[in-house]
Structure formats: structure tokens, C-alpha cells
A and B are shown apart, each in its own frame.
Chain A
Amino acid sequence: MQSAKTEWIGDWITPKNLLVCILIVPVLLIPFFYKGGAALLPMHLVIMVASYIVLAQTWNILSGLTGMFSLGHATFYGLGGYALAVAMVKLKLNPLVGLAAGIVLSAFFGLLLGAISSRLTGFFFTISTIALAQVIRTIAMQWTPVTNSITGLKIFRPIVSRMTFFYLSIAMAVAVSIFFAYLRRSRTGSMFVAIRENINLARSLGVDVVRYKTISSVIAAMIASVVGSFITYYIQVVDPNYLSPIISEKIIMVSIIGGMGYAWGPIFGSVLILLEEFIRGTLGARYAPLASTLYGVILIVFMLFRPKGIVSINLKRSFGMAIAALTPSKDVNASVGPNPENLGAGGGSTLHASQFSKEK
């Protein structure tokens, strides 16, 4: 029998995954394409997109895999941000201490959410995530001596080149996406989806529902907190906007439009983050809120026609003909773009592309 390890690696080396690896190369070279200051904006965009990929992956663990639908995910992002800033500005500590404090603090609130979810499910759980987010946000606004209220905290740090943030953010996005795919296929991931699919059947098959719900929310909270600290260190300011429902909405949007429960979901969905920046860039900052309106419209359109997100679009069917027309070879399959299920995100170890496309 194959060992578990070789089976995994073997599953992952597919032409499509390799294709994605190749496509990422030009992105990695962005700092060298542009001369001097021109690279700063594209790098900033990539940093934001990569950060949202990570945030959306964490939401995807909690809500996409485990079915604990959260509308307050910004809580953990904000906690990470504030922990770093308070540690640096108020306590004059090393930023790494702040990062660690944020992780610990978020883990605590993740535990709390897990405990809540053992009592409240579905709609009532969702409401409690909103309530928790609201509580944390109010504290950030009112606890002026520590948080500086709506002005927020400005941090001073040694100059770090944007390239460092750029590569760090990409590394995080790749690592967390691979972690998600790994998690999905692990025992823990199976326990998560069992809870999402049928909580009573899961219980009767021996799944300790409370334990796995808690694990899910703690993992999601800790990773989201890292992103909060990272962005705060990068932008050098944290304020109550970090805890705003708009952040939670964006995280959800990226994950849902990409495809909930799939590793590729947040990666595909993250193009939406560019939309806002694009509008800001072409129409001016005054029109940036327009993006929110567009997000809403896009979300409704997707819910109506593609409830399972971009990953459920059958690339073979959509582009198959175009590609067939362009390539003389008959082998359409090999030349099609990234297929969502290759990162192992799909249902179980043996979900095939054909089933994917049959899904509505």
C-alpha cells in the first residue's frame, strides 16, 4: 500500500496545479518589472489581495468547512491589529510580542465563540458573531487611554522595504491556502464537514461536535489575527475601521463568490479586492464606496446563478470551445486553466472534476 505521504504529494502534482505555479511567477516578478516608485502601487495591491486571501481562507475554515456562519470575522483581524499597536505604542514592546499577544487574545475569543456555538446553532450563532464584533468594536472606540478612540494608534517602526511586505504576504497566502487544502483532507477537516453536513449524524458517528467546532474557530481566529498584525505593521496605523462590518463583509464576499468550502475559493474571489482599488485609481477616492454597491450586486448575481461560486464554473465547458479553436491538438483537458478541485478542496479524497461540473 502507498504510504499516506506519497499519496498526498502524488495527488497534488497535477498539470493544473503546476500551471498555477507557473502563473504565479509573473506576480512574483512585479517588483522587477517596474522602475523605481512605479512598482509601489502594484505591490500594494498584491499585499491587500494576498491578505484578503488569508482572511477569507480563515473564514472558509470556520464557515465554509464547519458551517459556523460568521458575520463578525473582522473581530480577529482587529484584535491582531490592536494587540500589535498597543504593544508597540503603549507598552514599547517588540512587535513580535504584539503579534503573539494578538494570537493569544484571538484564540481566547475563538474559544468563546466555540463555547457559544455549543449552545447556539445556525442563525442564532450568526447573530452572536455580530454581537461579539460589535462589543469589541465599541471597546476599541471607547477605551481611549489604550486605543486612542477613533483616531486610532499610529505606530513608528524602522523602515522596511515594501518588497519585504510583498513577498511576506504572498508567502502567507500560499501557505494558508495549502494549509486549508491539507486541513480539508485531514481527519480534522472531515470532522468539520461532517458537522456542517449533518450535525446529528456526526454525533451518532462519534464526532465530538463541541470540540471540533472550537478547534475550527480557534484556528480561524489565530490566523486572522496574524493578518491584522501584519497589515497594521505595514500601514502603520490601526483604528476602529479594522473592526468594521465592512471588513467582515469583504472577507465573506471574497470567500462566497470564490466558492465556499474550497481552497481555490478565496483565491478566485480575491480579484474582487482589486475592484475597489481599481475604482479608487480610475475614478478617484471619492468613488471608492461605489465598490461596496458593486459587491452587493455581484453577490446577488452569484447567489442567483452560481451559488457555489467561481470554483463551480465549469472551465472545461466555458473555455473548452475557445481553447479547442485555438489549439490544433484534440487534448482540451490538458490545456484548460486551473480546475478548482485540484488543491484537494473538493468533497473528500476522491471527488472528480466531472462531479464538480454536474453540480449546479
Chain B
Amino acid sequence: MFFEIQGITKRYGGLVANSDVSLHVNQHEIVGLIGPNGAGKSTLFQIIDGFVRPDSGSIRFKDKDLTRLPTFKINKAGIACTFQHAQLFPQLDVLESVMIGAYCRTTHRAAARQEAEKLVAFTGLQGKESTLIDKLTMFDRKRVELTAALATRPELLLLDELFAGLNSTEVSEMVDLVLRIRREMKPTFLIVEHVIKVIMSICERVYVLDYGKIIAECKPDELSKNPLVVKAYLGEEYDAS
């Protein structure tokens, strides 16, 4: 199995953010993870990234147990992520931000720089190499975050609401970028997304999380036919009427 999590549970006091969550992702797949606000999607990502320790459960990646590893080792193992609230190096420029990712795989400055320049051009940020992050638009920031993650040469990319806060032109540009990344670098994706159009257009399989539990696993076009999913999104009244 390429990537598999089993029985992940995480409690915050009385609140169960993740309850016995199990899912898997096959190599080269694009899998979506959706669910209403507060369903526990970001919590699950933080657990996979090693930022949060689960109360129980395990995470396996290419036959390696990642469950108790520190974050940087999870990255070295081949998993990179972008955060729901874009995380950046505010006072560094675009190129160095990406180089820091590239240094994950090389110790040579010239090699890291070359790799960063290549990726910056690939994600459409050329010409902005020496711009400070502080001065970038939201769209560019999200692209820098994605580019830095790519520079660590991930085999599995976790994208937490990468498309949130973008206008529709930017959303379609970002969709194109993700598809281009997939074609040329062949990573596997696990994507948390509220923009349903994105899920429909790029995901091959979707998990639905509600109150910390996986309530459905299906193809994107089957979502609207699943009564549990409809209920989770629209609430009980819809069911009653």
C-alpha cells in the first residue's frame, strides 16, 4: 500500500476531532477529502504531518511507519504539505523560500538555486524571484508555498484548501497548475477542498468526513446521490422536507 492511515483518533478535551479515521491513497491518485467546517480535515493533515500526535492509530507510507516521526523526517520520507492558512517566510524573497525546500534534497547552494529557479518558472512565478513574500498577492503566496513544497520532491502532496480565497480565474489557473504538476512530476495528491468544482474536475476518489468520522468514500460524481453526504452538508431539515 502506498499511503494508508488506520484508526486515527484525536480528542481535544471532550471534542473528538478525528474518530477512528482510516483511509488509503494509491500511487499517482488524486484523492479528495471533504466535509463541513470543523469536520476534522485539517486536524487529520496535522496528524499526518507530525504536528499533532494522535491518541491512537497509525500512518504508513511506502511500508514505513510514520506515526511518531517528527515533521522534518516525514518530509524527508516524501510527504509535503501546504497549509490552510498559507505559511510563508515573510521577510525572505521568493527564490530563497523555494531554495529552503530544495535544500531538503541537496546540500549544494548552486544545485538548490538551480532547482528553485526551474520550479519558480514552472509555477509561473518567474520575474518575482527577488520579491519579498510580504509584497506578494494571495495567489502568488499560495503558489510560493506550493513551489517550496514541490522543491522537497514529494511523492505525496497534502493540499489543505489551496484554492480557498482565490477568484475564479485564479482557481482555474491553479487547477491547471496542479494538473501540470501531476503530469510532469507524478506525485500523488490528497486534497482538502471546499470548492466543489475543483473536487469534481481533478479528484478521482473522495472521502467525506463529518464530525471526525469518515461517512462516505465514492467517486466525485456520486457525491450528490449519497444520502449521508447530502445530510451532512445540508442538515436534518433537508432530510425531513
Complex Cα gap A200–B89 (Å): 10
Q: Can you give 29 contacting A-B residue pairs, CB < 8 Å?
A: A1-B110, A1-B114, A4-B108, A4-B110, A187-B103, A187-B107, A187-B112, A190-B100, A191-B100, A193-B89, A193-B92, A194-B92, A198-B87, A198-B90, A201-B145, A203-B75, A204-B80, A204-B149, A205-B75, A205-B148, A206-B152, A207-B72, A347-B92, A349-B113, A351-B93, A351-B132, A355-B93, A355-B130, A355-B131
- With a cutoff of 8 Å between Cβ atoms, the chain A residues found around residue B20 in the complex are none
With A206-B76, A350-B129: A187-B92 Cβ-Cβ less than 8 Å: no
**Residue B165 CB within 8 A of the other chain:** no
**Across the A-B interface, the 10 shortest Cβ-Cβ residue pairs:** A348-B96, A206-B104, A350-B130, A197-B89, A206-B75, A203-B71, A4-B110, A201-B87, A205-B101, A194-B100
The one of A3, A206, A209, A348 in contact with B92, judged by C-beta atoms closer than 8 angstroms, is: A348
Q: Are A352 and B130 in contact (CB under 8 A)?
A: yes
**Residue A202 CB within 8 A of the other chain:** yes
Q: Mark A300-337, 1 if CB is under 8 A from B, else 0.
A: 00000000000000000000000000000000000000
Q: Are B72 and A209 in contact (CB under 8 A)?
A: yes
- With a cutoff of 8 Å between Cβ atoms, the chain A residues found around residue B113 in the complex are 349
Complex Cα gap A209–B50 (Å): 14
**Residue A94 CB within 8 A of the other chain:** no
**A173-212 at interface with B (beta carbon < 8 Å):** 185-187, 190-191, 193-194, 197-198, 200-209
In the complex, given contacts A347-B96, A350-B129, what are 8 additional A-B residue pairs having Cβ atoms less than 8 angstroms apart?
A4-B108, A185-B109, A190-B99, A198-B89, A206-B75, A349-B95, A351-B132, A355-B132
The one of B81, B93, B108, B149 in contact with A350, judged by C-beta atoms closer than 8 angstroms, is: B93
- With a cutoff of 8 Å between Cβ atoms, the chain A residues found around residue B93 in the complex are 347-348, 350-351, 355
Q: Are A205 and B152 in contact (CB under 8 A)?
A: yes
**Residue B235 CB within 8 A of the other chain:** no
Complex Cα gap A352–B95 (Å): 13
Q: What is the number of residues of chain A that contact chain B, defined by CB distance less than 8 Å?
A: 30
Return the chain A residue nearest B110 by Cβ.
Answer: A4
- With a cutoff of 8 Å between Cβ atoms, the chain A residues found around residue B104 in the complex are 205-207
Q: Are A349 and B70 in contact (CB under 8 A)?
A: no
Q: Are B70 and A203 in contact (CB under 8 A)?
A: yes
Q: Mark B63-74, 1 if CB is under 8 A from A, else 0.
A: 000000011100
- With a cutoff of 8 Å between Cβ atoms, the chain A residues found around residue B81 in the complex are 204
- With a cutoff of 8 Å between Cβ atoms, the chain A residues found around residue B103 in the complex are 187, 190-191, 206-207
Q: Mark A118-140, 1 if CB is under 8 A from B, else 0.
A: 00000000000000000000000
Q: Are A348 and B101 in contact (CB under 8 A)?
A: no
**Residue B203 CB within 8 A of the other chain:** no
**Residue B91 CB within 8 A of the other chain:** yes
**Residue B193 CB within 8 A of the other chain:** no
Complex Cα gap A143–B110 (Å): 51
**Residue B88 CB within 8 A of the other chain:** yes
Complex Cα gap A185–B100 (Å): 11
**Residue B122 CB within 8 A of the other chain:** no
Q: Smallest CB–CB gap between A207 and chain B, Å?
A: 6
- With a cutoff of 8 Å between Cβ atoms, the chain A residues found around residue B71 in the complex are 200, 203-204
**B24-82 at interface with A (beta carbon < 8 Å):** 49-51, 70-72, 75-76, 80-81
Q: Smallest CB–CB gap between B102 and chain A, Å?
A: 9
Complex Cα gap A351–B132 (Å): 8
Residue with the highest number of chain B CB atoms closer than 10 Å, among A1, A204, A207, A208: A204
Return the chain A residue nearest B153 by Cβ.
Answer: A206
Complex Cα gap A4–B110 (Å): 6
Q: Are A206 and B101 in contact (CB under 8 A)?
A: yes
Q: Mark A257-275, 1 if CB is under 8 A from B, else 0.
A: 0000000000000000000
- With a cutoff of 8 Å between Cβ atoms, the chain A residues found around residue B72 in the complex are 203-204, 206-209
Return the chain A residue nearest B105 by Cβ.
Answer: A206
- With a cutoff of 8 Å between Cβ atoms, the chain B residues found around residue A352 in the complex are 130
- With a cutoff of 8 Å between Cβ atoms, the chain B residues found around residue A194 in the complex are 89, 92, 100
Q: Smallest CB–CB gap between B129 and chain A, Å?
A: 6
Complex Cα gap A191–B72 (Å): 12
Complex Cα gap A1–B117 (Å): 13
Complex Cα gap A191–B75 (Å): 15
The one of B51, B91, B96, B114 in contact with A349, judged by C-beta atoms closer than 8 angstroms, is: B96
**B132-179 at interface with A (beta carbon < 8 Å):** 132, 145, 148-149, 151-152
Q: Are A351 and B130 in contact (CB under 8 A)?
A: yes
Q: Smallest CB–CB gap between B157 and chain A, Å?
A: 12
Q: Smallest CB–CB gap between B160 and chain A, Å?
A: 11
Q: Are A347 and B110 in contact (CB under 8 A)?
A: no
Complex Cα gap A166–B130 (Å): 40
- With a cutoff of 8 Å between Cβ atoms, the chain A residues found around residue B100 in the complex are 190-191, 194, 202, 205, 207
- With a cutoff of 8 Å between Cβ atoms, the chain B residues found around residue A349 in the complex are 95-96, 113
- With a cutoff of 8 Å between Cβ atoms, the chain A residues found around residue B51 in the complex are 200, 203-204
- With a cutoff of 8 Å between Cβ atoms, the chain A residues found around residue B92 in the complex are 193-194, 197, 347-348
- With a cutoff of 8 Å between Cβ atoms, the chain A residues found around residue B114 in the complex are 1
Return the chain B residue nearest A207 by Cβ.
Answer: B72
Q: Smallest CB–CB gap between A174 and chain B, Å?
A: 23
With A205-B100, A205-B152, A206-B101: A187-B109 Cβ-Cβ less than 8 Å: yes
Q: Smallest CB–CB gap between A86 and chain B, Å?
A: 39
Complex Cα gap A200–B108 (Å): 23
Q: Smallest CB–CB gap between A262 and chain B, Å?
A: 12
- With a cutoff of 8 Å between Cβ atoms, the chain A residues found around residue B148 in the complex are 201, 205
**A47-81 at interface with B (beta carbon < 8 Å):** none
